[in-house]
Amino acid sequence: MSTLIRNARIFDGFSTVSESGHVLIESGRIAAISLKQPLSAPEGCAVVDAQGCTLLPGLIDAHVHVFQDVHLIETAIKYGVTTVLDMHNEREWFKEISAVTRQRNDVSDVKSCGSGATVKNGWPSAILRLVSQEENVEERISNWPNIHDQQSIDECIALNKAVGASFTKLMQEDGHTMKIPFPERPLPTPSLELQKMVVEASHKAGFVAVAHALSNHSTLQVLRAGVDGLAHASIDPVTDEIVQAFKESNAFVVPTLVIHASSSGEEQETREIFSKHLHGADREHAIGCLPITADQFTINNVYNQVIALKEAGIDVLCGTDTAGDLPGTRPGMSVHQELWMLVNRCRFTPIEALISATSNISKRFHLADRGVIEEGRLADLLLVSGNPTESIEAICDVKIVWRNGERVVDN
Ligand SMILES: [Zn+2]
């Protein structure tokens, strides 16, 4: 089964390489690209005339929680999100989800850390105990790692690897950034020494090491431990020390503006704009927020962090923290909102925002088979009406999505 896409503006993951180019998909891969001269269609090949449209690599959301939620990946792909990075799950649930993504192209692919490198009674078990309605929550938590020495770290990574995980999620959260009545304050956190061991063991296993941290203090701690990136931007005012620490470690940041806006209770209007096409419970969920951020913080701190880091040349990756039960997030739609916020709140050009959701993620997470329109890569592609490289809002006008070369969304 092959497809020829004709006359498309092509954003290849880095820049606009053609105003009227041609891409041939064969056997699930990008078989040929011509930036000017038409390509001839092989016999039996489907042809898409993409005049006036823009072809992009399928978008990647670098921070979600899939859990067992097939609906999340069924929905995300409708917004052109062909891959999501799952930042802490139950290992068994990730195995089940992987079976679904292998069998079906009409869902986003999922890369996962498996279980985060958690400590006993720390993040996120402390919050799960407070908010979860599940009956078996204690049983769930009892399966989580309790890292405390080399052996427990090696075991954590080996078990993650066994279920197909490809990176490690470190947790550095003492709880002071939130107005939540944790039974213990500060929450137990791993020592710097321990986090260094987690990073080292991850790299030895060929894993990228990415950390949850929300404050400057915690961010500096994990940067000193040598992590490859941060799964959130800090909600503290940005400092030279933070920017310098990112530069020295060459770490990336996944700002997750969408969840910061939900947890500070700000940007209500933005959520409403992006969920105006939704109805009922979907809409309620998407326009909701979960204001748990401690009162002294504001989303402007996050914007200033991201602006300073981007200006210092730090890689910024698009991620949203979308999860089934997190108000103010919705699969796929949150990626469009995150891109819009990068442009309209953090001084990104539309091209810079699109890079953050495509080639920057494939580069930093070593996903060499996707994120860029290049011969040989997977045909995970998104066609939108109009030109999102000039006006980021056009990313919402999804026309066609291909995953593994199969046309799975058609509007
Ligand atoms: Zn998260």
pLDDT tens-digit profile of 141-176?
A: 999 999 999 999 999 999 999 999 999 999 999 999
Q: Are residues 162 and 273 in the same domain?
A: yes
- What is the structure's pLDDT at 339? 98
391 and 356 part of one domain = no
What lies within 8 Å, CB to CB, of 256 at 6+ separation is 63, 231, 232, 233, 319, 320, 321, 338
Domain hosting 398: range is 1-57+373-411
Cα 87 to averaged position of ligand 1 atoms, centre (Å): 6
Q: Which residues pair with 47 in a beta bridge?
A: 4
Rounded Cα gap, residues 273 and 285, in angstroms: 14
In this structure, the answer to whether residues 21 and 143 fall within a common structural domain is no
Give me the pLDDT at residue 311, please.
98
Residue 131 has pLDDT above 90, yes or no: no
What letters, b where the CB count within 10 A reaches 16 and e where it falls short, cover 266-284?
bbeebbeebbeeeeeeebe
CA of 63 to the centre of ligand 1 (A): 6
208-212, strands of its sheet edge to edge: 167-171, 208-212, 229-230, 252-253
Percentage of the chain beyond pLDDT 90 is: 94
Residue 295's pLDDT band (boundaries 50, 70, 90)?
A: confident
Compute the distance from residue 327 Cα to the ligand 1 centre, in Å: 13
Question: Residues 342, 202: one domain?
Answer: yes
pLDDT at 247: 98
On the question of pLDDT at 181 being above 90, the answer is no
Task: Say whether both 337 and 410 belong to one domain.
Answer: no
The H-or-E segment that residue 195 falls in is: helix 192-204
* Ligand 1 centroid to residue 38 C-alpha, Å: 44
Residue 220's pLDDT is 98
Pair (380, 286) in one structural domain: no
Distance 390 CA to ligand 1 centre (A): 30
Mean pLDDT of the region 12-29:
98
Rounded average pLDDT over 264-270: 96
In which band, very low, low, confident or very high, does the pLDDT at 1 lie, cut at 50, 70 and 90? confident
Residues, beta carbon < 5 Å, ion ligand 1: 87, 321
Centre of ligand 1 to C-alpha 257, Å, is 12
Does residue 76 sit in the same domain as residue 37?
A: no
CA distance 106 to 57: 16
- Clarify whether residues 312 and 380 are in a common domain: no
Ligand 1 centre to CA of 212 (Å) is 7
Tell me, what's the pLDDT at 282?
A: 92
pLDDT for 184: 87
Question: Quick check: 325 pLDDT over 90?
Answer: no
Dist. CA 9 → ligand 1 center (Å): 34
Question: Looking at residues 334-351, what average pLDDT do you find?
Answer: 98
Q: What is the Å distance from ligand 1's center to 343 Cα? A: 22
221 and 321 share one domain: yes
Say whether pLDDT at 25 is over 90: yes
CATH of the domain at 235: 3.20.20.140
CA dist 282 and 294 (Å) reads: 27
CA of 64 to the centre of ligand 1 (A): 6
What pLDDT shows up at residue 26?
98
234 C-alpha to ligand 1 centroid (Å): 13
How much is the mean pLDDT over the chain? Answer: 97
The verdict on 106 and 66 lying in the same domain is: yes
Ligand 1 centre to CA of 5 (Å) is 36
The domain total for the chain is: 2
**The pLDDT of residue 215 is above 90:** yes
Per-residue pLDDT reduced to its tens digit, 230-265: 999 999 999 999 999 999 999 999 999 999 999 999
Asked whether the predicted pLDDT for residue 34 surpasses 90, the reply is yes
DSSP assigned state of 317: -
Share of the chain above pLDDT 70, in %: 100
Whether residue 119 is found in the same domain as residue 147: yes
Same domain? For 203 and 279 the reply is yes
What CATH number should be reported for the domain holding residue 378?
Answer: 2.30.40.10
Q: Kindly report the CA angle at 364 between 34 and 266, in degrees rounded to 5?
A: 105
pLDDT number for residue 110: 98
47 falls in which pLDDT band (50, 70, 90)? very high
